[in-house]
Amino acid sequence: MNKATILVIDDEPQIRKLLEIIFESNDYRCIAAADAKSGIAMAASYQPDLILLDLGLPDKSGQFVLQELRTWFDKAIIILSVQNTEEDVVNALDNGATDYLTKPFRTAELLARIRSSLRRNIVVEQKEVLKAGDLDVDISSRIVHKGGQLVKLTSTEFNLLVLLMHNEGRVLTHQFILKSIWGVTYQNETQYLRVFIAALRKKIETHPEKPTYIITESGVGYRFVS
């Protein structure tokens, strides 16, 4: 059995019931809340392995709930909402969402995203060596090998690669990456980031023009795929 506990925070009774059936038939434990207040309380009480969060809640917005949860909850939070504008998606990812799925959803896709998020979790424990495909990144010595060959990265390129690899599979927005690597004064310098991504791709991708590690999420940011 999966044994993972999933908390659903959604004000639609039919959606909560549907998700409960889906999850329990796939060996997950499902608990549910109909509003922001009870959702936050249940997250604190049950410490779920993953939260599925709607943005349109009756008492507080899902974005507010996301921000509140991210002050202490470090596991996966997937947004499941009818709100699907680029602004909605970017704001949710900036506020700490692990992934974003719009309603109506396909069951197989939702379950796949959940499996991926449960494997990954938001906070990745610091490891001495990160591995992805033919890449080996030694954190302590700050040395990178690709296919056994040494790859010379600048300090900034190394920090950027580690940030992406620590968040494998998660879409990181331009603003999140810029703020994490360069600080808040750079969070709108998207062209600056593109230059560094291009330079990093030339060093770690077999075919930089067709990247397989650092994937562009158009208009949003980047996703690292191993």
pLDDT in tens, 88-123: 888 888 888 888 999 989 999 999 999 988 877 544
The CATH code belonging to domain 129-224 is 1.10.10.10
**Which regions of the chain does DSSP assign to beta strands (E)?**
5-9, 29-33, 50-53, 76-81, 99-102, 129-132, 135-138, 143-146, 149-151, 171-173, 214-217, 221-224
Q: Number of C-alpha atoms within 13 angstroms, CB side, residue 183? A: 1
Mean pLDDT of 25-42: 94
Instruction: Tell the CATH topology of 5-120.
Output: Rossmann fold (3.40.50)
Mean pLDDT of the chain: 89
pLDDT of 1 higher than 50: no
Q: What would the two tokens of residue 176 be? A: 């999140």
Mean pLDDT of 181-197: 83
Mean pLDDT of 195-210: 95
Mean pLDDT of 144-149: 94
What is the C-alpha separation between 178 and 187, in angstroms, rounded? 5
Please tell me the pTM assigned to this model. 0.60
> Higher pLDDT residue, 118 or 209?
209
pLDDT of 212 higher than 90: yes
What is the C-alpha separation between 198 and 210, in angstroms, rounded? 11
Mean pLDDT of 18-31: 95
pLDDT value at position 127?
55
pLDDT value at position 75?
86
User: Dihedral through CA 78, CA 126, CA 221, CA 191, nearest 10?
Assistant: 160
Backbone angles phi, psi at 64, to 5 degrees: -65, -45
CA 50 to chain centre: 12
Q: What would the two tokens of residue 196 be? A: 């560094």
Q: Number of C-alpha atoms within 13 angstroms, CB side, residue 76? A: 27
pLDDT > 70 in the chain, percent: 95
Q: Number of C-alpha atoms within 13 angstroms, CB side, residue 3? A: 1
pLDDT value at position 123?
43
Q: Return the domain boundaries, the chain.
A: 5-120, 129-224
